[in-house]
Amino acid sequence: MEEWTVKVNHCAVKKEKPQTDQLEFGRIFTDHMFVMDYSEPLGWHDARIVPYQPLTIDPSAMIFHYGQSVFEGLKAYQTPEGTIQLFRPEKNLQRLNRSNDRLCIPAIDEAFILEALKQLIYLDKEWIPSAEGTSLYIRPFIISTEPYIGVAPSHQYKFVIILSPVGAYYKEGINPVKIAVENHYVRAVKGGTGEAKTGGNYASSLKAQETCSQKGFAQVLWLDGVEKKYIEEVGSMNVFFKINGKVYTPMLNGSILEGVTRNSVIQLLKHWNIPVIEEKLSMEKLYQAYLDGELEEAFGTGTAAVISPIGQLSWEDKDLMINNGTTGELAKSLYTTLTNIQYGKEADPFHWVEKVSEAYAVK
């Protein structure tokens, strides 16, 4: 809403920033954070940027009991010229509102939040690392805070955005991983919350992840919860397969997260005149393609890794070695093009990039 403004309370002392080699994912946070509250009849109100600080919440608050929460993940990039860029942030905010709807959380004003986010980023812009592959990870999230332990949608919420400088995902170049098809645990099911970005989906995935890690796999490939036949996601990424020159990815079905990177990869492939097929994709079909020598590449897509090649896929007693366990040409091209656009090193034909200019400097 146009009349909204963000109050700003600057931190007294700026924290020391990490060296590039100290950067990992999600452990260090910047000097400020954005906070906004929801209560009735006020609605969303009191939008503010404040020093990064702990949240003080009643132990009866719903978030601690019934998991009513949603989140997003996106990044800010620094170009070689020092410009700050976001990558399709409106897609994340649209998805946040779709998640809100599924979780009975009141919608946020996407345009206002994007403005507020840019102010926050500009204020903490010194935290955006500049080394190859580094970025500023942005984590918006909403938690239910009503101090009431009845099972019902909360009447109070807190919307928070925190920022974390992160290191390069691939420190030694893009590398393929070993994946196990998960036959026991299920991530999500039609009619559940699989297409929402909500905590419960991730909580329920931990056990499968722990079990596969112990067996030496990086992630699991999730099958559908109904028939355990159809491919859904890999770890917390969407998944793509190149089969005989065409690219296949599971179609959105209500239990698969609609990834922003997934959407961007599909657009890029179409732009390159590579056929993309979104369909209900079974492990049987994939295995047959493998036996026929037609499974050329497999990779996950997500904000953190951008493209994560799959070198080996373990399914029941079978081991599928893909592209000799090396990164395929298509995965490499997608990774290079997407990151080049994100870092402003290549033209942006789709207008995906949004600059965070000096106009967002806090007065």
Task: Give the residues lining the site for a copy of itself (CB under 8 A).
Answer: 25-27, 29, 33, 52-60, 63-69, 71, 102-104, 137, 139, 141, 143, 147-153, 160, 162, 164, 184-193, 198-207, 209-210, 225-228, 235-236
Report how far residue 336's alpha carbon sits from residue 70's, in angstroms, rounded to the nearest whole number: 30
Q: Token match 């592209």: residue? A: 323
Check: CB of residue 156 under 8 Å from CB of residue 112. Answer: no
User: What b-and-e string marks burial along 124-137, b requiring 16 or more CB atoms within 10 Å of the CB?
Assistant: bbebbbeeebbbbb
CA dist 320 and 196 (Å) reads 31
To the nearest 10 degrees (0 to 180), the angle between helices 260-271 and 329-342 is 110
Q: Tell me the backbone φ, ψ of residue 285, rounded to 5 degrees.
A: -65, -40
Cα–Cα distance, 294 to 169 (Å, whole number): 29
Cα dihedral across residues 5, 109, 91, 96: positive or negative? positive
Q: Is 3 exposed, middle or buried (0-12, 13-18, 19+ CB in 10 A)?
A: exposed
Q: Helix (H, G, I), strand (E, B), or coil: what is residue 99? A: helix
d(CA 347, CA 93): 24
- Distance CA(280)–CA(76), nearest Å, equals 34
Q: Measuring CA to CA, which residue among 21, 342, 24 is closest to residue 165? A: 24
Pairing relationship of beta strands 353-355 and 84-87 according to DSSP bridges: antiparallel
Residue 96, token pair as written in the block: 């946040």
Contact present, 239 and 299 (Cβ < 8 Å): yes
Q: What is the CA radius of gyration of the chain?
A: 21
* Separation CA 273–CA 164 (nearest Å): 37
Cα–Cα dist 268/325, whole Å: 24
